[in-house]
Each structure stands twice: as C-alpha cells, then as structure tokens.
Amino acid sequence: MQSRKHYQRVLIVDDMAINRLILASLLASNGIDSDLAESGEECLKLCEERDYDLILLDHRMPQIDGVETLIRLKKLFLGRGKEIPVVCHTTEEARNNVSLYKAAGFADVLFKPIQPQELSDILISLLYTEKDLISDHDLIKKKHITEELDKLPEAVRRIPGIDPISGISYCETAEDYIEALEIFASSISGKSEEIRRFLEERDLTMMAARLHSLKSTAKLIGAKELSDLAAHFELAAKDGEGSLVFEGAPSILSMYCGLEPLLKKALSPETGKKPADVLFIEGAKGFLNQAVVGSLVNAGLSVTRTRDVLNEISPRLGDSDVIVYYPNGSASQIEIIMDYLLEVTANEHKSLCLIGEERYINKAKEYDRDNRVYAIYPRPVNTVKLADDIRHLVQYRQRSDTNRTILIVDDDPDFLSIVRGWLKAEYLIDAASSGEETLSYLSRKHPDLILMDYDLPDMDGYETMEKIRRSLSTAAVPIIFLTGKSDRNSVMRILKRKPDGYLLKPMTKEHLLDTLERFFEQNYYAGL
C-alpha cells in the first residue's frame, strides 16, 4: 500500500469557525497543514500574499459569496500566470447542482458534513502525481504514532502550545514522551533563572548557548512555537544582534515559564479524586459566582472553577459532564470562548449552560448556530433552581440510555440493518417497513422516538405522521424524519406537521448518534 507526500499549503475558507476546525482536522489526518480564512475578503488578501496548492471555498458566505470570490480569484491567478484548483464546499441540498458549480469554474465540490474519504479522493485527484508516492515505511510510522498517541492521558494530549504528535515522532513511544515532558517541566525553573541572569549581565554568548539548548528540547517535546522563537533569537545572538536578543528575551521567558504549570497539571493528576461534575467558567466577577458555586455544592455536585481564558479552560475540562459559562466582556472574547466550547460540546458530548446578563448571553447565543446550548439563566439567577436542574442533568448523563426505545421506519432492509447496528449499543431498536406496520406497532407500544423515512410502500411518511398526530394516544410520540427527500415541496409539506427533526440520508454514524443524544438531552432538560 502507498500514500502521498506532504505538500505546501491549503487554504480553508468558511465563515463558521467549527467548519474551519473540522476541515483543518481532516486535512491534518492526511498529513496536510492549512491556513484559515473566515470571509471572501480574507481569502483574497491571503492569496495575494501567499501561494497555495489548493483552496477549499465555502459557497454561502456573507458579503462576498463563494462564486464571487472564485471570480476574483481567477483574475488574480490569471495575473500571476498560475492556476490554483478551488474546491467548493456546500450543503447537501446542492448535490444536484454539481455541474453548475463546475461550470462556474470550481475544480470539484464537497458536501457538508464533509466525509473523510470524499476529501481524500479530491486531494489525491487534484494535488498528487506519481512522483509524490512514498514508501510503506512512512505509513507504518504514521500508524505507530497514532497508536502511541492513544496511550497518552487525555490531559497530556491537550496541553496548550504542545503538539504530542510531533513529540512522539521524536520520542518513539508514549512512555518515553511522558518522561521527556517530565524532564522538560522539572528544568524550567532553573533554566529560566539562568536566562534571566544572562539577560541582566548582557552575556550574549551564554544567552546563545541557552537558546540553542531550549530550541532543541522544546522541539523534542512538540513545543514548536517556543522552539521557533528560541531559534530566531539564537541566530540573532550568533550574528551579534544583542539589542534584538535582549529585547526579545522576556517574550521567550513568558512562553517558557507559562508551560510549567500546564505541564505539571497534566503530568501530575490527582489520583482517586472523582472528576468534577461541573466546570464553571467565570467571565465576570461578583457575588453571583459564589452563589452559583455554593448552590451547586449544596446540591451534591463537585465544581471546578476557571477564568474565561482558553489555556486555563482546556486543562480543566477533564471529564466534567456540564459546563456553565458566565459570558462577559468584549464580543471578540465571547466569540473565542464560545467557538471553543461549542467545538468541545460537539466532539466530547458535554452540556453547555449560560448564565449572566441577558445582553452577554444573547451575544454568546449568536455563535450557537447548531443550538448546542441546553439552557440559559439570565440575571437575576435563581441559583437553587439552576443547581437542581444541573443535578438532574448530571444524573441523566451518567445513567445508561439503553432503556430508550427507537422505532426505525424504512422499507430498505439494508439501511435498517446498518442503522440498527449503529444504535443498538445505546438504545433498544424496533423496526417497521411501512406506514400500516408503524400504526400497528403503535397500537401495542409507544417508543421514545420514531425515525421516519418519507418514501414508504403504502402511505408515505407524511401521511403516516398525520395519522400518528391525530391519535390522542400517539400524538406526543416524537418523530424525526430520516430521509433522502430534500426537494423544497417535500420538505415544506413535512414541516407543516412540525416534526421533531429532519435528517438527510446519507449521514455518518457519528452525526446520527450526536443528533439523538442532543434530542433526548434537550427533551429531558426541557421537562425539568
């Protein structure tokens, strides 16, 4: 088996931070680095400054959309005499318009949610030639790194400013990498004091020696930014540019010393201690903070507190089931924290609640495009009710979901088998292949949810839903459509009956499980 070599650079353009992060992660899994832009204007600016091998361009963006951005990019490429492939990534509903996108000048089209294999196929077709092929040795090494990475504690994998993949590539094993981190952490205090002394003494020779050592050890553990900074000033010291070195030394010391508490926290977890039930992120100070924490503790919950600073939040996330965020301050700060928390809730299935002043809560909600915030508590906050709600939510999350029954209605036996296989570990699964069979089932048993296809052999999904809604005994049974129907007429017809959700085939197992978990959790929380 063979793979492809790493290439120069890919630009990801999307106005949603979570989409940019997902694409960057998928590219990284293919060994590819990327730059990120959130608008057509930023895309054009970056392309004027840098060369790219490929551009992944969102279609629907404010101000300048994907097509207009493409037109301007083509003019830019023409002036340079170099054509760069531009791939459009857009919603599933546009799948029937692939020919139109290609006619507009896009090299290819990807549909959200992006499937890893589809992205890999496009990368292979647009970026690689036979000369890019590499040996099986590289594939074996990549697999080895992935296996060793999985052996690392979660806290070690998420130390801000450190790339564990890079570290393991140097240290070979997870055990050796942790040992290297421990050695690096234990020497920070002493070596930083030496750097401070050489700074005070204006000893350029010794400063260059210490920077050379720091450059190597930081690179060894995957602290690339620190290593690059040390290398930059080491070179300046060797060139005799003392003023530049002495002016830059404080920034190196700040970054270097800042790693010490993060490393010690990750490498020395408290043993035998139950993970905190709630992580409380305090964007504002005041009496409300202590009142919230006091009520949570009185409700029997354990709480970890942190400021709204990313490199303080990350190592404290741990296994907390619920995050309570008290937003306050500038819009840009709230956006940064919300983007991160929404990514965490999506990837790690945590629940996010907001408390505080309504104007800041509303600002935070602007970034919640996928409705992942489960509850909000504007001031004046009833802290006793908040604590009781969260206690019930924690209890709900910590119990098994296997007592929930889902009825899947679909006449495709292969699809039924696949989805049953996906869900059976989490839920009790029943199946029906027609509308009549569904109604017969409901006369005997009421499931917690129905996943309904639109195209059924006797009556379609809409008609079946109508009959379910008209019966007093079944009207309250939730229905989520799981169908390939995406034309406007079908969608509008279904929405008239207000289903509890609408999912398009095909979807990934992860996407389906995430949707179901969020649905049941939201329903449970709404009933508290």
Q: How many domains does the chain have?
A: 4
In a domain, 155, yes or no: no
CA 504 to chain centre: 21
169 and 258 fall within a common domain: yes
239 and 290 fall within a common domain: no
* Average pLDDT of span 338-354: 82
| pLDDT for the residue 190 | 85
Q: What does DSSP assign to residue 434? A: S
Maximum C-alpha span of the chain: 88
Task: Write out pLDDT tens, residues 278-305.
Answer: 899 998 888 888 888 888 888 888 888 8
Which helix (H) or strand (E) segment holds residue 437: the answer is helix 435-444
253 and 302 fall within a common domain: no
385 and 429 fall within a common domain: no
| pLDDT for the residue 33 | 78
Note whether 142 and 134 are within 8 A (CB). no
Which of 367, 398, 429 corresponds to the end of one domain?
398
411 and 484 fall within a common domain: yes
Q: pTM for the full model?
A: 0.38
CATH number of the domain enclosing 98: 3.40.50.2300
* Average pLDDT of span 71-80: 86
Could you list the residue range(s) of the whole structural domain that residue 101 is in?
3-134
In a domain, 370, yes or no: yes
| pLDDT for the residue 503 | 78
Task: Write out pLDDT tens, residues 82-138.
Answer: 888 999 988 766 676 677 777 778 888 888 777 777 787 787 777 765 444 344 445
| pLDDT for the residue 28 | 73
In a domain, 320, yes or no: yes
* Average pLDDT of span 460-489: 84
| pLDDT for the residue 272 | 37
In a domain, 141, yes or no: no
Q: Cite the DSSP H helix spans in 268-380.
A: 287-298, 310-317, 331-348, 358-365
In a domain, 153, yes or no: no
Task: Write out pLDDT tens, residues 161-196.
Answer: 898 888 888 777 888 888 888 888 888 988 888 888
250 and 295 fall within a common domain: no
Whether the upstream peptide bond of residue 413 has omega within 30° of 0, thus cis, is: no
- Is residue 324 predicted with pLDDT exceeding 90? yes
Task: Write out pLDDT tens, residues 422-440.
Answer: 887 778 888 898 999 999 9
| pLDDT for the residue 275 | 56
410 and 389 fall within a common domain: no
Which of 377, 398, 419 corresponds to the end of one domain?
398
| pLDDT for the residue 444 | 83
- Is residue 56 predicted with pLDDT exceeding 90? yes
Selected residue with higher pLDDT from 121 and 362: 362
| pLDDT for the residue 276 | 63
* Average pLDDT of span 359-387: 86
9 and 121 fall within a common domain: yes
Tokens coding 326? 């008290």
241 and 197 fall within a common domain: yes
394 and 413 fall within a common domain: no
344 and 236 fall within a common domain: no
Q: What is the SS3 assignment for 431?
A: strand
Note whether 412 and 505 are within 8 A (CB). no
Q: Would you place residue 398 in the very low, low, confident or very high pLDDT band (cuts 50, 70, 90)?
A: low
318 and 416 fall within a common domain: no
In a domain, 157, yes or no: no
